[in-house]
Structure 1
Amino acid sequence: MRVLKFGGSSLASVERFLEVAGIVKQQLSAEPVGLVLSAPQGVTNLLVELTDLAFLGTDYLPLLQQWQQRLETLQSEAKDKLLAADNEALTLVREQQFAQLSAQLQGVALLQYCPDHIKARILGLGEQFSVALMTGLLKKLQIDTIALDSVACVKSQGDYLNAVADIPASEAALGAAIAKQQAQVYVMAGFVSSNSNGELCLLGRNGSDYSAAIVAASIRASVCEIWTDVDGVYSADPRQVKQAQLIDHLSYDEAMELSYFGAKVLHPKTIGPLARYQIPCYIKNTLNPSAPGTCIDANNNGDSLVKGISSLEHLALITVSGPGLKGVVGMASRVFATMAREQVSVSLITQSSSEFSISFCVAQLDLNVAKKALETEFELELQGKLLRPLAIQSDMAIVSLVGDGMRQHRGVAAKFFASLSQARVNIVAIAQDSSERSISAVVEQKSCRNAVKVCHENFFSHVPSIDVFLVGCGVVGSELLAQFERQQQFLQQRNVRLTVYGIANSKALLQDAQGINLASWQQRMDGQKQQFSLEALSQFVQDNHLTNPVLIDCTSAEAVAMQYADFLAAGFHVVTPNKKANTASLDYYRQLRLVAQQHRRRFLYETTVGAGLPVIDFLQGLLNAGDELMAFEGILSGSLSYMFGELEQGVALSEVTAKAKAMGFTEPDPRDDLSGMDVARKLLILARESGLQLDLSDVTVESVLPNDFAPGASVADFMAQLPELNSWFADKVAAAKSEGKVLRYIGEIANGQCKVSVKALDLNHPLAKVKDGENALAIHTRYYQPIPFVLRGYGAGAAVTAAGVFGDVMRTLGWQQEM
């Protein structure tokens, strides 16, 4: 015989009932079927709520009418699918249930007390309706069907609400019932059973899976199939991890570990009876019956390092500690005997090697009972200071890796803990059994989902994520978004998922939990009312459980730059071409690096000096190798490189400035370039990277223009007045030319001093040939001496700068975060 169990989601409507009947009919050709059913979807929840309302003395009649209407609607929709006699029988079942429920609720309300045996009778009503309805539908399909009374046939031990199977007694009762009545299909209610006194007992909430396992074990079924609304068991909860993968095979041990630690598809007690009698189990999807599902059996092929990642939430961690534990026999047994007496389930146990403390997890709902019981049990030890006061950490969760293959592979634990670190999750406690089949970590509840997500990325999908928030969508920012859009396919081919979740300008912030469509972001910016802020971005990251958020600052705003430390502390990587942060005070410069290190985030700013040229990376590499910067000279401004090249050809100063501004080479206010402060900031960044303790005021700056030219003028007025300097600057160009030289704007570091100035260079000087927007840097170090290392390339333009920022963004990938 085959045993098939269908859950509430598979019985949500008459249409679903008929689909189940069709699946059963298809399987009859081989052998008879034992059909175990849950209550129709939502019915048991209504019964729970009705019981609670009656217990509290609250008006429950409207909800009772809702429960009655739910069953009447199901019967009404099924009327044409039932024989007249079966429809009448269903009506009788429904009326009897209503009478019984009304009487019991009235008694609970009057007494404001609901003993467990009454609660069990109330909560078990829904499954009995499912049996009556399904039996009628199968008979209408001319299938020989008999309904068996689960209360009589399924035997259990223990309390009324969470009983444990009695397999020998169930085997005898079921065998006798089946032998008495031969049929093609035996329909039974899940969730309900009876004890040795014949009293109705429940098998624990959502216990229909367990019922099916008991039935399968009792009749030695050929297979047990658990039909639900998903294709099988997944490597993680697909509602939390979109990339969760279907597991095609699990051993019994793996399945028990996953179900115990929170896998929603399986009831934790289901696997035990099946494993005992080596009955294979399949998890199948009622909505997709052709899917192969997940097979659970005794085979242990160890084909995967880790089979799944599960989590058990809403826990509390209790720690019993003190000198009274060390070397004292029986203390641990007293702790757990106390929990057993109070019927408090312990999820995880860990003990220090010094025997100084024992920590264990219990359900958050059981915390008060557990705490009170322990304080009573150890009252004398607590008073005598042999034990410290109980340490309790609430709102905890357990994240577990499960897989038989873990035993044959080294480094699993290291990768697990590295993943938790990457997710910025603090590990409170660790446990691993001697079989090495699972390893668990206790973490804060609020961090649980992030922990599961990153672990799944590293063990299964191998597709690390980059979660982008861009502030500043001007020339460079817009080009960067365009590059992100163009490179999506390229990144996907290399297993990288880059998603832009937020875009901000000076007026508004656009955020989208599904990721922003980069082909239409400009239109969506209009009408956005939210403003850019750390609080807004942090809340979004928290709400959407993003694990690798990256702030990209493409503004030149000092206000944004001065928030970098806060963003790093909040868990964001920071990538920027904005030079303001690295040229602020030395204290802030040091703070940024310290905060980034403390919070394991990356602060990346390659484009602040050479745009797309790898200046910072090269210099840091030399210094890491023990080299030392001796001197530096270079052309650090692509815009001034272009302008001085044009000036050399006789183009007027005002004309070339307007042209460079129109081409996007200069800042919106060209005076930011012509003042020399942009070059001074770049030079200061290089100086600080090399170890010089300098501030911006220590850099000697010679402006391209006279210091007293157009003070306080607007950009438009400045551009209008600029022709006044055409002849003045043309004379300087001519004077240099008469000496066989050319003018270039140079940054220099020598003898611990920084200087930027207009210099006349001989034509054979390496920097004399640098123009047309190029940057060139000559780096003199102890290793590169006397011939310097020279970097040369374009340093102006949105595309080059955006490409450099893109490169930095890619360095925030999880596997690079330890660098």
Structure 2
Amino acid sequence: MKVMKFGGSSLATAEKFNQVVALIESQQQPLCAVFSAPQGITNDLVVLIELINQQQDLTHQLDLISQQLLTISADCTNLRAEFDVSKSQQQTAGLLDQLRIWAQGCAMIGHCPPKTAAQMLSTGEKFSTLLMATLLRTVHPVTVLDPKLFICTEDDSIEPKVDLVQSTAAFKQKYSALTDLSVMPGFYGASPEGDLITLGRNGSDYSAAVLAVCVAAQACEIWTDVDGIYNVDPRLVAEAQLIEQMSYQEAMELSYFGAKVLHPKTITPLAQHGIQCQIKNTLNPAHPGTLISAETAKQRVVKAISNLSDVAMLNVCGPGMKGMVGMAARVFQAMSEANISVILISQSSSEYSISFCVPGSESQRAIRHLENAFRLELKNGLLEPIACQQNLAIITLIGDRMHQQKGTASRFFSALSHARVNIIAIAQDSSERSISAVVRAKRIDDALVICHQQLFLKKPRIDAFLIGCGTVGRELIQQINKQQNWLQEQNIDLKLVGIANSRQCLLQGDGIDLDDWEAQLQACTEGLSLERLRQFVRDAHLTNPVIIDCTSNQDIAMSYLRYLEANFHVVTANKKANTDRLAYYHQLQAMAAKKQRRFLYETNVGAGLPVIDNLQSLLRAGDELLQFEGILSGSLSFIFGEIHQGLSLSEATLKARDLGYTEPNPAEDLNGLDVARKVLVIAREAGMALELSDIDLQPVVPQALADLTDADEFMAQLPAYDAEFQQLIDRAEDQQQKLRYVAIIQGGQCAVKIQSVAADHPLYEIEAGENALAINTQYYQPKPFIIRGYGAGAAVTAAGLFGDVLRTLSWEQEH
């Protein structure tokens, strides 16, 4: 024997009724089928009762319900040849006539009594069962079971519990012999007084479970519109995974803490009698669904993450709590008398306070009952006023085997920390089958996403916003696109979710198609703003947003502080921020530390060369910078290499410009300011309190030339300086030396100037276009620590940015 229960979404139209009929007929008999009301009908009946209690006109609502049910019945006419449409319409009309009589009677007395409300609310289930019986009888004999005759509840509360022993005995007495196919309306039973009573939320599932016990079924199938139970709400997390098998206890915990597919009351009778439960999809009947039994799947320690929204937390505390026997009992007795369900309890070890969660809609009533129960203690100051926090949610880890795995709770709380979610309260049972945290409701979606990523996908995510679509920005986009397969192999989810130029900003939460980003960006009408990005991050529930600045824009650089404060990581090739006022430099470092965000700028010095990272590593190890000499400009390195190959300064500069090595105006290279900014970054990293104006900057060319802002004018006047510069070249070569444009740190001072170096100098053998740094520290002396390589060009700069972006991964990957 098997029991099949079909939900309202499976019975929304005549066509779906016919699909259910086909499903039932395809099963091996004997079996019993339990039906919910057609989708939306119960809600419409609730509205009808509310209208009665508000003493409003009922005509439209009654007509709406009638139209829906009569339409479904009439639409079944052509679905099955032997369908008795006349009988079906007559039965439906009878149900609707009775509904109108109840509604009009209640309207006359101005309210709807609970017993009458129960009769009215069960109309949809009765309709579904009568219609289904008529459809099935075209081929099979069918017994219609009346749950009011045998489902016996222990009380008449809103969520009554069924007496399984009494119900089983009543069933055997009423239905000693059944046909191979039986049908039954769900959702209701009989009160201790024998009146019809509804069974509460998911009452039809509960009815099916009770029926399964009464008929000693081997299995109970719950048919709905999803393939089964997921390890997290698939409406909130796109990567949610189906759970193939779970234990009764896991299912009860999952349903208790918010899963909509099941109710804990459904699982309890099945677990008590060892009846398997299968969650299946009427739209995809071939799918195996989720099996709930005494066994659990062994593959995963954490089985699921559930969330319960609209929760309030009450706190009963005060000196009168300390050592007073029975205080907790009195707190929860008050909740019991108020018929309020307590969801979660957390008590301080000092016994000073008891915190517990209740449904948000019940919070004010809970406060009133507590104030009444403890009125004397409150009056005499033994208790503080009852505190209540609203707009909370509970996120819970569930799994039978969590107690066998060390560190599960630690990983859970670490994930919440990475999601930047503040934990208000914690609760955990002794078996560690469930671990719950109370958080603010507005952060629950972020908490679910990051917990699922860390505990199930184990796939860190980076949500990158790229600003600046020039040479470096384009190259970085190309590199990210090219490396997607490698990133997937490394189990890293890196998506460009934003691309902005000076006028437009393209945003896509699931990642931009990088094969077509330019056309998409051009179609955008809005520009970049921090507030727009912040709203986008909230709406898309991004948990690891990263700003990548590929510009040299001063305004953007001066926005880093606000980006960090808004919980963005910042990765930049733009030197303007780190070389602005020293106070701003320190503010950026402090804000990054405060917000636990990464502020990364390896490409500020040496493009893709690991300069900053190596220097920081030495300083963290207790080293101290003694002296620094470096060639920090790839363009000037190329120019100075060419002049020793026989070209004049102007010829070498023209060649470098034509090859794209310099700025559009080469004066911006030869004035040395870019090198000065780079050496200032190094000095500040080493702890020197210097401003840009403190650097002894000697440009390659006379200051009058260096100050020219027109590129053509600069190139036209540069040859006039060739002869004077040639004298510097000749003097160096006469001494078997070479000219280098060098940044120097020594004795707490910085200088940028032309320097003649001998063959034994670390910078002598540098190839044209290379960057090189010679770092003398306490650990590296007298021989310096050398970093050398090509440090100019879009490819190496983009690669350096790419490396920094990967350093923003929100947690260490497991190996």
TM-score by length of 2: 0.96
Secondary structure, counterpart of 2:311 in structure 1: strand
Partner of 1:155: 152
Q: Is the 8 A contact 1:600 1:817 kept in 2?
A: no
Alignment partner of 1:328: what SS?
Answer: coil
Which residue identity is paired with 2:536?
F
SS of residue in 2 equivalent to 1:99? helix
Alpha-carbon spacing, 1:615–1:279, altered in 2? closer, same or farther (3 Å):
same
Q: How far off is 1:806 after superposition?
A: 0.6
Structure 1 residues 567 and 114 mapped into 2: Cα distance closer, same or farther (>3 Å)?
A: farther
Which of the residues 314, 321, 327 maps onto 1:331? 327
One-letter identity of the residue aligned with 2:116: I
User: Which position in structure 2 is the counterpart of 1:537?
Assistant: 533
Show the counterpart of 2:680.
Answer: 684
After superposition, where does 1:66-215 map in structure 2 within 5 Å?
66-82=64-80, 86-109=84-107, 112-140=110-138, 142-159=139-156, 161-180=158-177, 182-215=178-211
Task: Write the deviation string for residues 141-196 of structure 1: whole angstroms up to 9, x where unpaired.
Answer: x122222122323222333642221212321332234324x312111111121212
In the TM superposition, 1:36-75 aligns within 5 A as: 36-75=34-73
Contact 2:245–2:296 under 8 Å retained in 1: no
Partner of 2:770: 774
Where does residue 376 of structure 1 map in the other structure?
A: 372
Deviates more, 1:345-354 or 1:448-457: 448-457
CA contact (8 A) 1:225 1:283 kept: yes
Distance 1:79 1:649, change over 3 A: same
Q: Is residue 601 of structure 2 the alignment partner of residue 605 of structure 1?
A: yes
Taking the aligned partners of 2:83 and 2:448, their CA distance within structure 1 comes to 53
Distance 2:110 2:637 in 1: 87
Q: Distance in 1 between matches of 2:321 and 2:87?
A: 64
TM superposition shift of 1:85: 7.0
SS in structure 2 at match of 1:767: coil
- C-alpha change, 1:599 and 1:713, in structure 2 (3 Å) is closer
- Corresponding position of 1:2: 2
Question: Offset at 1:735?
Answer: 4.1
Q: After superposition, give the CA deviation of every residue in 1:665-718 in whole Å (9 maximum; x if it has no partner).
A: 334543332221211111111111112122212211111222123756444544
Aligned 8 A contact 1:116 1:161 in 2 = no
Q: Tell me how large the CA RMSD over aligned residues is.
A: 2.1
In 2, are the aligned partners of 1:237 and 1:264 still within 8 Å (CA)?
no
| Structure 1 residue 485 displacement after superposition | 0.5
Q: Which moved more, 1:81-90 or 1:163-172?
A: 81-90
Native 8 Å contact 2:668 2:706 kept in 1: no
Contact 2:547 2:571 in 1 (8 A): yes
Residue of 743, 747, 755 corresponding to 2:743: 747
Report matched runs for 1:116-515 at 5 Å: 116-140=114-138, 142-159=139-156, 161-180=158-177, 182-300=178-296, 302-515=298-511
- Does 2:554 correspond to 1:558? yes
Distance 2:202 2:81 in 1: 31
3-state SS of 1:361 partner: strand
2:643 equivalent to 1:647: yes
Q: Contact 1:710–1:721 (CA<8 Å) still a contact in 2?
A: no
Task: Report if aligned partners of 2:393, 2:441 keep a CA contact under 8 Å in 1.
Answer: yes
* 1:270–1:783 CA distance, 2 compared to 1 (3 A): same
Displacement, 1:733?
Answer: 3.2
Displacement of 1:340:
0.8
Structure 1: how far apart are the matches of 2:529 and 2:108?
56
1:26 is aligned to 26
In structure 2, how many angstroms separate the alpha carbons of the residues matched to 1:583 and 1:447? 37
**Contact kept? 2:667, 2:709, Cα under 8 Å:** no
Contact 1:475-1:798 at 8 Å conserved across structures: yes
Greater displacement, 411-420 / 713-722: 713-722
Aligned with 1:365: secondary structure? helix
CA distance in 2 between partners of 1:242 and 1:498 (Å) = 16
Q: 1:764 to 1:349 in 2, by over 3 A?
A: same
Task: Check whether the contact 1:640–1:745 (CA below 8 A) recurs between aligned residues.
Answer: yes
Q: 1:38-79 deviations in whole A, cap 9, x for unaligned?
A: 111222222223333443345554443332222222122211
Give unmatched runs, 5+ long, in structure 2: none
CA contact (8 A) 2:55 2:111 kept: no
* Higher alpha-carbon deviation: 794-803 or 261-270: 261-270
Q: Deviations over 1:440-468 (max 9, x none)?
A: 11111111111121111111111111111
Matching of residue 787 in structure 1 with residue 810 in structure 2: no
Deviation at 1:234?
A: 1.4
Deviation at 1:720, TM superposition (A): 5.0
- Distance change >3 Å, CA 160–CA 407, structure 1 → 2: closer
1:401–1:440 CA contact under 8 A, matched in 2: yes
Instruction: Supply the distance in 1 between the matched residues of 2:715 and 2:201 (Cα, whole angstroms).
Output: 77
The count of corresponding residues between Structure 1 and Structure 2 is: 814
Structure 1 residue 639: Cα displacement: 1.8
Give the deviation of 1:658 after TM superposition: 4.6
Distance 1:526 1:175 in 2: 73
The AA in structure 2 aligned to 1:77 is: D
d(CA) in 1 for partners of 2:727, 2:60 = 95
CA distance in 2, matches of 1:333, 1:718: 87
Contact 1:116-1:160 within 8 A present in 2 as well = no
Q: What is the SS of the residue equivalent to 2:417? A: helix
Query: Hey, what's the Cα distance between the residues in 2 that align with 1:610 and 1:428?
Result: 46
Percent identity over the alignment? 51
Shift of 1:757: 0.9
> Could you tell me how far 1:204 is from its partner in structure 2?
1.0
AA paired with 2:604? T
Distance 1:337 1:663 in 2: 83
Task: State the Cα distance separating 1:776 from its structure 2 match.
Answer: 0.4
Cα gap change, 1:167 to 1:817, in 2 (>3 Å): closer
Q: Are 1:464 and 1:814, in contact at CA under 8 Å, matched by a contact in 2? A: yes
Partner SS, residue 269 of structure 1? helix
Q: Structure 1 stretch 776-785 or stretch 582-591: which is displaced more?
A: 582-591
Distance, in Å, in 1 between the alignment partners of 2:244 and 2:444 is: 25
Residues of 1 paired with 2:68 and 2:660: CA distance?
Answer: 68
Partner residue, 2:758: 762
Change (3 A) 1:106 1:675: farther
Q: Following the alignment from structure 2 to structure 1, what is the Cα–Cα distance between the partners of residues 534 and 24?
A: 51
Measure the CA separation in 1 of the matches of 2:652 and 2:148.
93
In structure 1, what residue type is equivalent to 2:304?
G
Distance 2:314 2:543 in 1: 29
- Offset of residue 309 of structure 1: 0.8
Distance, in Å, in 1 between the alignment partners of 2:374 and 2:652 is 86
1:618–1:97 CA distance, 2 compared to 1 (3 A): same
Deviation at 1:539, TM superposition (A): 0.6
* Contact kept in structure 2, 1:475 and 1:664, CA below 8 Å: no
Q: 2-side partners of 1:206 and 1:672: how far apart?
A: 72
| Structure 1 Cα separation of the partners of residues 161 and 39 of structure 2 | 24
- Structure 1 stretch 109-118 or stretch 747-756: which is displaced more? 109-118
- Residue 89 of structure 1, CA deviation: 2.6
